[in-house]
Chains A and B, each alone.
Chain A
C-alpha cells in the first residue's frame, strides 16, 4: 500500500464545491454580498440541482488532484 504523504505545514487543500443553483449557490452569493471572508481555495461549480451530482464528478475531481469535494444544496 502507498504510504500517505506527509502534510507540509503551510499546505492548504484545494476544494471543489458543487452547489445547487437555487439554494447553495445563492447562499455563496449572499456571503459575498455580506462581505463574509473565507479562504480562496474553494471553487464552485453550479448545478441545476444537487440531484444532478454524478458520482463520476466526485471521482474525476479526486483523480485530477482536488483535495476535497463539498456538495451543498
Chain B
C-alpha cells in the first residue's frame, strides 16, 4: 500500500511539474554534452531545424572516437573522409556553438528551462586570430607522447588533436609546455605572425540557458594491461586494436604501411584476440562490446589489402556479425581474403627470445593444446564507461544501470531517468557508428517534440544588402593573394603572384594580404569590391573545402552574388607540398591563380529557387516503427497521415509478449495504438494502401487505395518485415515441433511443463543461402523463452542448439543468466545440422557435439525453432513505387550505411524499422524516432531552397535522347507530358553526370560549366 501511495504521489508531482512547465518558459535551445558522431548528428539535425545548439566537448576538437578509425565496416569507407565534412559543416553552422575544452559544472532547472554552468579550460591560442597555419607547432621544441596516436608516436606541446581538427586552432598543453613548466621558450609566440598565442589566457566560467540536455559522452576503452597473460605493456608487438587502427591510417604513425612497433618490420602472421575486456565477468567487463568482431574482421581485410603477404588469424568465442550485411562481410573475409578464424580463447602470449615474435597458446574445441608463433598480436579491446561516470551521472541527476551505462527502458531507449535529459550513443550501451548516428537523430526528434513551441526563437537571421546586378557587365576581377603568415609566403613569392595576376586580362585589382581570412582581411575585401566596382573575386590562399563559404559570405555582404567567388588553393596544394622548391612552387601558384582567373571570367550569378513545404508527413506502415515515428512527428506540431494496409495497427508486435528484460509488450502496444488513434494531428487509414505517388521533397502528392488524396512534405517508410515460415526440421509434421512465437504465446498463458525437455534450434532460415543474413533477434528470443521456462519450472530442461550466440551489447547479461539457470548450449555447424526423427511421440534429435568430439542424441518434449525475419512482401511494390533500392536480401538500402542510416538518397524520404534490416524492438523505436527527427528537419522549414551547385537544363537545345534520364542516380531529369526531357532541380545533387553524358551539352553545372572548365584547361596549358 505504501509503495503504491508513494508511486501515486510521485506521479502527481511529475504531472504538476509538467503542468507548471506549460506555463513556464521553454527555451528553443539544446545542450549537447559530447562531440562524437552521435552528438554531432543531434547537433546538425537540431541546428538545421531552427534550434540553437550548444555543444560542450572535453577535447580540443570535436570528432570523438570515429576520427581515430581508419576505415569502417562493412563498406571499407574511409572514416575521416566521412566525418570530416560533417565536422566542417558543424563548425561553421550559424545555429551551433561549439565549446571545446569545456565541461558542465552544474545543472539547474527543469525540462524546457535549464541553467547550465560551464567551465572552459584555457586554450592559450586565440581562435579569432589563429589562422590554423601550424607554424607554432612546427617551432615548438617539446615532444610529448600522442594520446590520439595511442602512444605510437609523439606530438608537440602546442598541437592540434589531429590534422582535420575542428576548430582548427592549436592548443597549448600546459603540463608539457616549456614556458609554463620552466618559464622559458615562447617559441610559438615568437613565430606566430598573427599574434594568436596568449599565455595569459584563463579559465572561463559562464552559464548557458537551454531547454533540453542531450548526453553523448561516449565510452572509454578497456585497458588490457590488466590482462597480464596477454603481454600488453610487456611485449612491444602486442598492441591494441585502436593502435592498429592508427597504424592502418594514412595519417598515422607509419603513414599507412603496416609495421610492428618493436623493430618496424612488416609482420606476416598477425593474430587478433577477441573479447579482451569484454564478456568476462571475473576479470573484466561482463558485457559484449558489440563492435569488436566486426572491426577485427575489417582490420584483417584492410591489413590484407595494404599488404598481401599478411596472414591474418582471428581468435574468437562467438562471431557476432549480427548487423545488416555483416555475415556476408565475414564470409568475404574468409573466402576472398583468406582470414583464418579460430574459435578459441588464447590462454597466454609469450615473447620469443631475440625475434620479438609471439607464441600464442590456445586449445582447440576438442581440448587439444596448440602453440603457434605470430609476428604481431592485436588485442580487440572493448568499451567501458568513463572512469568519472558516477560523478557525471550525479551532475545531471540521472540513474545508471549496474554496469555504469545510462539507465534507459526498452520502450524509451533514449530517455534517461530525468525527463528532459536524453542520451545517445555508446553511453546508452555499446553500439556501432550507424546505431549511434540513428540515436543522434532520435534524440533530435525527441527534443524537437519537447521544445516545439520554442522552435526558431533562439536563432537569428542576418540581414543582407540587396544584390548588385552584374549581368551583362564585363568581368572586373579582384585577386587577393594571401601570405597565410609564412605558410604560403615562405615557399611562394607572393609579390610575383600578385604582379602576374595584374597582367591578366579583366583583372582590375590584385594585392597581397597577410591573412585574408582574418577580420581585417575580410573588411578590406569588402571595401575593395565597392571601391573598384569588382564583379568577380578570387582569393588565392587555402582550400575551398573549408574556406569557400566564409569568403562567399564576405562578398555577399558586399552586395555580390556568392557564386561570383572562387578560391585558388595555393597552400594545401602548393606551398605545403613543395617546400624548398620556391621557384617552381611560385610558378605553380601563378598557374593555379591564372586557371582560376580564366574560370572566373565565365562566372555568372546563381539564383536558387525556393519552394513551399507542406508541413505534413505520410507514414507508410502502422507497426511500432510507423506509429512511433507518427507520434513523434505529430508531437512536433506537424500533421501525419498513417497508412496501414491491415485492418489492425501494431504489425509484428501483435504477436510479441515480452522483451528480453520481461517488459510487457502488449500493454505498451495498447498504449501506443491508443495514443496514435487519439492524437489530434494524426489521421489513421487502416486497410488502405498507397496507390499513386508524385512529387519531391516538401511537395509530395499521394493517392491512397480508398481514393483519398494527400499532400505532404515527407514520407516515412516503415513497412516492416514478416516472420519466416519454416519448412525445415519437419515443422508442421509433428505437433511437438513449434516456433519461438508459439512457445512465447503458450508461456504467457500457461506454465511450462514440469520436467519437460525443450530443445531450441537457432538460425532456422537465417545465415545460409538463400537468406544469408543474421536475423538478429532470434538468439535473444530463445534465451528470453529459455529463462522464462527455467524461472517458472526450474525442473524443466532447456537445450539451445546454436551456431553463434549473438547476445550483443548489454544483452550478454541474459546469456549469462540463462547459463546460470542451467540452460544447456550446444553448438552445431551449418554443414552438420541437427537431424530430427519424428517417428515416435516425442521427436528425437541427433547432432555432432564439438566439445565431446562425438555424435550425441537427445529426446525432446518440444522442439522449438528460432525462425528468422524476412522483408515484407509489400516492399517490392513500395520499392517500385518510390524507386528505392534494396540490398541483396531485399531490405531497403539507406543513403549511406554509416552516416545516413535513416535517409534514402532521395530527399524527404526516410526509413525505419524492419524495412531497413532485422532489429530488436528498442532499436526499432530509436530508428523511428530518428526518422521523425530527420523528417522534422525538412518540415520545420516554410520554404526550402534548391542548392546552387546544380545542373541547369537548356530545353532549347535538348534532343530528349534520354541519356540523362538513364544515368541520373537521383531521378532529377524526367519526361514531361509533352514527351520531352525536363529537369527537376530540387532533386538535383549537382554531380554533373548528366552534363558529361549529354551529347548536346544541354546540361551545365553551375560554377562547373564546360566553358569554365575548358578555360581552366587552356590556362593550365599556358594559353590564356
Interface membership of B571, Cβ < 8 A: yes
Interface membership of A36, Cβ < 8 A: yes
Interface membership of B710, Cβ < 8 A: no
A60 touches B995 (CB 8 A): no
A32 touches B571 (CB 8 A): yes
B residues 75-105 in Cβ contact with A at 8 Å: 81, 84-85
Tell me the bound Cα distance from A31 to B250 in angstroms: 10
A40 touches B578 (CB 8 A): yes
- What per-residue 1/0 map shows which CB atoms of A20-32 lie under 8 Å from chain B? 0111011011111
Tell me the bound Cα distance from A46 to B592 in angstroms: 11
Give the segment of B57-65, B694-702, B862-870, B1008-1016 that binds chain A: B1008-1016
Interface membership of B25, Cβ < 8 A: no
Cβ–Cβ < 8 Å partners of A30 in chain B: 163-164, 250-251
B residues 559-604 in Cβ contact with A at 8 Å: 569, 571-574, 576-579, 581, 584-585, 587-588, 591-592, 595
Interface membership of A7, Cβ < 8 A: no
Chain A residue nearest to B599 (CB atoms) is A45
Interface membership of B946, Cβ < 8 A: no
Chain A residue nearest to B162 (CB atoms) is A33
Cβ–Cβ < 8 Å partners of B1021 in chain A: 14, 16, 61, 64-66
A52 touches B1020 (CB 8 A): no
Chain B residue nearest to A61 (CB atoms) is B1017
Give the segment of B183-191, B911-919, B985-993 that binds chain A: B985-993
Tell me the bound Cα distance from A22 to B953 in angstroms: 24
A28 touches B1017 (CB 8 A): no
A residues 1-41 in Cβ contact with B at 8 Å: 14, 16, 21-23, 25-26, 28-38, 40-41
Tell me how far the C-beta of A12 lies from the nearest C-beta in chain B, rounded to whole angstroms: 10
Tell me how far the C-beta of A5 lies from the nearest C-beta in chain B, rounded to whole angstroms: 17
Tell me the bound Cα distance from A36 to B576 in angstroms: 8
A65 touches B1008 (CB 8 A): no
Instruction: Answer whether A64 and B595 are a contact pair too, CB < 8 Å, given A35-B579, A40-B578, A48-B949.
Output: no
Tell me the bound Cα distance from A36 to B256 in angstroms: 13
Tell me how far the C-beta of B176 lies from the nearest C-beta in chain A, rounded to whole angstroms: 22
Cβ–Cβ < 8 Å partners of A65 in chain B: 1021-1022
A49 touches B572 (CB 8 A): no
B1020 touches A32 (CB 8 A): no
Tell me the bound Cα distance from A68 to B85 in angstroms: 30
Interface membership of B543, Cβ < 8 A: yes
Chain A residue nearest to B168 (CB atoms) is A33
B990 touches A45 (CB 8 A): no
Tell me the bound Cα distance from A61 to B250 in angstroms: 31
Cβ–Cβ < 8 Å partners of B504 in chain A: none
Interface membership of A57, Cβ < 8 A: yes
Interface membership of B881, Cβ < 8 A: no
A49 touches B569 (CB 8 A): no
Tell me how far the C-beta of A54 lies from the nearest C-beta in chain B, rounded to whole angstroms: 5
A33 touches B1013 (CB 8 A): no
Cβ–Cβ < 8 Å partners of B81 in chain A: 22-23, 26
B993 touches A49 (CB 8 A): yes
A53 interface neighbour in B545, B996, B1018, Cβ under 8 Å? B996
Cβ–Cβ < 8 Å partners of B68 in chain A: none
Tell me the bound Cα distance from A46 to B596 in angstroms: 11
Interface membership of B67, Cβ < 8 A: no
Chain A interface residue count, CB cutoff 8 Å, equals 38
Q: Which of B545, B577, B1010 has the most CB of A within 10 A?
A: B577
A43 touches B592 (CB 8 A): yes
Chain B residue nearest to A53 (CB atoms) is B996
A64 touches B991 (CB 8 A): no
Dominant SS among interface residues on chain B: helix
Interface membership of B419, Cβ < 8 A: no
Interface membership of B1023, Cβ < 8 A: yes
Chain B residue nearest to A16 (CB atoms) is B1020
Cβ–Cβ < 8 Å partners of A46 in chain B: 544
B996 touches A51 (CB 8 A): yes
Chain B residue nearest to A20 (CB atoms) is B991
Cβ–Cβ < 8 Å partners of A43 in chain B: 588, 591-592, 595, 1020
Q: Which of A23, A32, A37 has the most CB of B within 10 A?
A: A32
A28 touches B1020 (CB 8 A): no
Cβ–Cβ < 8 Å partners of A54 in chain B: 995-996, 1010, 1013
Cβ–Cβ < 8 Å partners of A51 in chain B: 991-993, 996
A32 touches B1013 (CB 8 A): no
Tell me how far the C-beta of B819 lies from the nearest C-beta in chain A, rounded to whole angstroms: 48
Interface membership of B1005, Cβ < 8 A: yes
Tell me the bound Cα distance from A44 to B581 in angstroms: 18
Cβ–Cβ < 8 Å partners of B163 in chain A: 30, 33-34
B1008 touches A48 (CB 8 A): yes
B84 touches A26 (CB 8 A): yes
Chain A residue nearest to B586 (CB atoms) is A40
A60 touches B543 (CB 8 A): no
B residues 516-561 in Cβ contact with A at 8 Å: 543-545
A52 touches B1005 (CB 8 A): yes
Cβ–Cβ < 8 Å partners of A29 in chain B: 543, 545, 569, 572-573
B1014 interface neighbour in A23, A32, A60, Cβ under 8 Å? A60
Tell me the bound Cα distance from A23 to B1013 in angstroms: 19
Tell me how far the C-beta of A50 lies from the nearest C-beta in chain B, rounded to whole angstroms: 9
A40 touches B251 (CB 8 A): no
Instruction: Answer whether A64 and B1017 are a contact pair too, CB < 8 Å, given A23-B81, A29-B543, A33-B164.
Output: yes
Cβ–Cβ < 8 Å partners of B585 in chain A: 40
Cβ–Cβ < 8 Å partners of B996 in chain A: 51-54
Tell me how far the C-beta of A20 lies from the nearest C-beta in chain B, rounded to whole angstroms: 9
B573 touches A33 (CB 8 A): no
- What per-residue 1/0 map shows which CB atoms of B936-959 lie under 8 Å from chain A? 000000000000010000000000
Tell me how far the C-beta of B586 lies from the nearest C-beta in chain A, rounded to whole angstroms: 9
Instruction: Answer whether A40 and B949 are a contact pair too, CB < 8 Å, given A48-B992, A52-B992.
Output: no
Tell me how far the C-beta of A21 lies from the nearest C-beta in chain B, rounded to whole angstroms: 7
- What per-residue 1/0 map shows which CB atoms of B681-713 lie under 8 Å from chain A? 000000000000000000000000000000000
Tell me the bound Cα distance from A21 to B1010 in angstroms: 17
Tell me the bound Cα distance from A72 to B993 in angstroms: 15
Chain B residue nearest to A63 (CB atoms) is B1021
A44 touches B545 (CB 8 A): no
Tell me the bound Cα distance from A69 to B381 in angstroms: 45
B1016 touches A21 (CB 8 A): no
- What per-residue 1/0 map shows which CB atoms of B476-517 lie under 8 Å from chain A? 000000000000000000000000000000000000000000
B interface vs A, CB < 8 Å? 81, 84-85, 163-164, 250-251, 255, 543-545, 569, 571-574, 576-579, 581, 584-585, 587-588, 591-592, 595, 949, 990-993, 995-996, 1005, 1008, 1010, 1013-1014, 1016-1018, 1020-1023
A interface vs B, CB < 8 Å? 14, 16, 21-23, 25-26, 28-38, 40-41, 43-49, 51-54, 56-57, 60-61, 64-66
Q: Sample 9 A-B pairs with CB under 8 A, ordered by A number.
A: A14-B1020, A22-B81, A25-B545, A41-B588, A43-B595, A45-B1017, A48-B990, A57-B1017, A66-B1021
Which 7 pairs show the lowest CB-CB distances between chains A and B? Answer: A52-B992, A32-B572, A64-B1021, A32-B576, A49-B991, A51-B993, A29-B572
